[in-house]
Amino acid sequence: MTIARHLTLLSFLCTMTRAADSQQPSPRPTTLAHRSTVYAPHGMIATSQPLATAAGLGVLERGGNAIDAAVTAAAVLNVVEPPMTGIGGDLFALVWSAKDHKLYGLNASGRSGSLMTRAALLAKGHTTMPQESVEDVTVPGALSGWDALLRRFGTVRLAQALAPAIGYAEAGFPLTPIIAGEWGAEVAKLRKDEGARATYLVDDGRAPRAGEWFRNPDLARSLRLIAEQGTGALYGGELGHRIAERVRALGGYLTADDLRKHRPEWVEPISATFKGYRVWELPPNGQGVAVLEMLKILEPYDLKALGHNTAPYLHLLIEAKKLAYADIAQYVGEPTAMTVPVANLLSDGYAASRRALLDPARAADRPAAGKPLTASETIYLTVADSAGNMVSFINSLYDAFGSGVVVPGTGFALQDRGAGFTLEPGLPNTVAPGKRPFHTIIPALVTQPDGRGGEAPWLSFGVMGGSMQPQGHVQLLLNLIVFGMDLQDAIDAARFRHLEGRRVALEAPIDDAVRRALVALGHELTPEADVAFGGAQAIMRLARGYAAGSDPRKDGMAAGY
């Protein structure tokens, strides 16, 4: 079907939806609780927890740069938002260096243990990868990433960046409401592990409540050890040996040598243009390529004419998401195991071939991957400083509290990122020893022409939430670029989340007329109460100073000076 035919049919559907909407006013709320966009002249930070934002802002005000502030804030989040992040997880970052006028990418994700084989998992009776299990524990790469960022771009030492986190872990802090809710939802999981129970539950085995003071002296000791001994404490030292011994004792596949061999990797970011902007993501083993493929599929459409969050508009985005995700499931994983180059997935011809499969009148079930020619729970934060440096930074444990395993006395949970592998043989993401699994966590950055033949940073942003992340990236970008929304409005706007098959969830502000129209197109609506729609943080570079927004779906805030 041609683009012209697509547009004609979509316009007709849009008209019908609007007519139905005008006849039956919806009682649903029209927006989430609103915040104002934050503006500041010199520097800006946006994180998912106010204490982390304050710690990073303090670094900026004392003369530190964006990289110093990002690592400081990430360490504080390890303390104050432990269901989502910590040194037991992985890290990815994009750094715009004002000095070099260049974008850098860091992949600080860890590899599977040397004992993690497909045969070993099958022998234990698994037919799919286990979930939230010690068997999913992979090398935690976040700490190595913090250190790599500071060594290359920072002005402070790792010990200095860890100091505020050590203070909060030792003295304690009052818990914020959304994080308290996420914590409370994981009590049964935390009770299963001796170390998790002792670290994260209080009194008779309950989660701490909103406003209640919480301390983590074990984490303070671990961070102080790292401050004194450097990252070697985890990668080959005392802390690493304790982790490896405990994981093996519980039936996992990690060894001390696996930790000792870990190295973060500087990588070349990947990009695609959209409506005059260049959108940057990190290359595999992450899912950033899905964002770029979705944008390339969508670019020829007149999305603005369809109307924001109308049924035809949402249908188009949902179907583009399905096509892109079918491709990443088939082709994306550890880069050395991939047989299809990323460039081929992002070629104009391939995007056109995928676009041709999009039916504007009917929801697809599970589209197959295409045939290109051959030749991922989380915190997101972003920081910009007065020199023009910008950091897009994401750190994750995968599931809430990761594997649910805390080595007694360490104070932090180990990620379960190995659950991102597949047991299906012959794929780039098939489980194997010493391999990085497919990752859901993706930082993003957008540049625009600088008028001198180069590029200049425009937006640093991310949307937390597993498979929500690529579809969240696209929705936020379209809100800004196509519909011209204010930054905070673009973050607040109601979202969809496609789950699997024809199942999709819609946030409450999307009205009943649109819901009925989507059902008529073949979509199956899932109750939104138990679905997470992501949590965005964003900083936009202005002609002078910065604008920033922080998602009301999280506890965080944006602040500047």
Q: Give pLDDT tens digits for 233-292.
A: 999 999 999 999 999 999 999 999 999 999 999 999 999 999 999 999 999 998 899 999
Mean pLDDT of 331-354: 90
pLDDT at res. 24: 44
Q: Which of 108, 85, 78 is nearest to 95 (CA)?
A: 108
Which DSSP category does 156 fall into? S
CA 230, CA 157: separation in Å to the nearest integer?
A: 10
pLDDT at res. 206: 97
Report the predicted TM-score, pTM, of the whole model to 2 decimal places: 0.92
Is the pLDDT assigned to residue 176 strictly greater than 70?
yes
Active-site residue 199, yes or no?
no
CB 106 within 8 A of CB 154: no
- Token digits of residue 87: 């040194």
Q: Which of 434, 433, 419, 517 is nearest to 467 (CA)?
A: 419
pLDDT at res. 11: 54
Q: Please state, in angstroms and as integers, the Cα–Cα distance from residue 137 to each residue in 255, 329, 355, 405, 467, following that order.
A: 11, 21, 38, 9, 20
CA 436, CA 280: separation in Å to the nearest integer?
A: 21
pLDDT at res. 439: 87
Q: Which of 286, 276, 296, 307 is nearest to 346 (CA)?
A: 296
Produce one character per residue of 227-244: b if its CB has 16 or more CB atoms within 10 Å, e if not.
Answer: beebbebbbbbebbbbbb
Which uninterrupted H or E stretch holds 168? helix 158-171
- Token digits of residue 190: 């935390």
Angle at 490 between CA 488 and CA 495, to 5 degrees: 125
pLDDT at res. 25: 43
Residue with tokens 């992501």: 534
CA 379, CA 106: separation in Å to the nearest integer?
A: 16
Q: Which of 51, 104, 116 is nearest to 80 (CA)?
A: 51
Is the pLDDT assigned to residue 19 strictly greater than 50?
no
Is the pLDDT assigned to residue 4 strictly greater than 70?
no
Is the pLDDT assigned to residue 5 strictly greater than 90?
no
pLDDT at res. 21: 46
Tell me the HSE value of 141 on the side-chain side, using a 13 A CA sphere: 32
pLDDT at res. 554: 94
Longest dimension (CA), the chain: 68
Amino acid at 125: G
pLDDT at res. 29: 56
Mean pLDDT of 343-350: 92
With helix as H, strand as E and coil as C, how does 384-420 read? ECCCCCEEEEEEECCCCCCCCEECCCCCCEECCHHHH
- How many Å is the Cα radius of gyration of the chain? 23
Domains annotated on the chain, with CATH: 3-26+268-377+442-545 (1.10.246.130), 63-90+101-262+396-420 (no CATH)
User: Which of the residues 310, 378, 422, 447 is marked catalytic?
Assistant: 378
Q: What is the pLDDT of the chain when averaged over all its residues?
A: 92
Sheet holding 524-526, edge to edge: 496-500, 503-506, 524-526
Is the pLDDT assigned to residue 342 strictly greater than 60?
yes
Is the pLDDT assigned to residue 114 strictly greater than 90?
yes
Is the pLDDT assigned to residue 372 strictly greater than 80?
no
Instruction: Dump pLDDT digits (tens) for 292-323.
Output: 999 999 999 999 999 999 999 999 999 999 99
Instruction: Dump pLDDT digits (tens) for 465-503.
Output: 888 999 999 999 999 999 999 999 999 999 999 999 999
pLDDT at res. 367: 80
CB 520 within 8 A of CB 532: no
Which uninterrupted H or E stretch holds 503? strand 503-506
CB 413 within 8 A of CB 407: no
Mean pLDDT of 370-397: 82
With pLDDT > 90 as the criterion, what percentage of the chain qualifies?
Answer: 83
CA 11, CA 491: separation in Å to the nearest integer?
A: 26
CA 445, CA 451: separation in Å to the nearest integer?
A: 19
Is the pLDDT assigned to residue 23 strictly greater than 60?
no
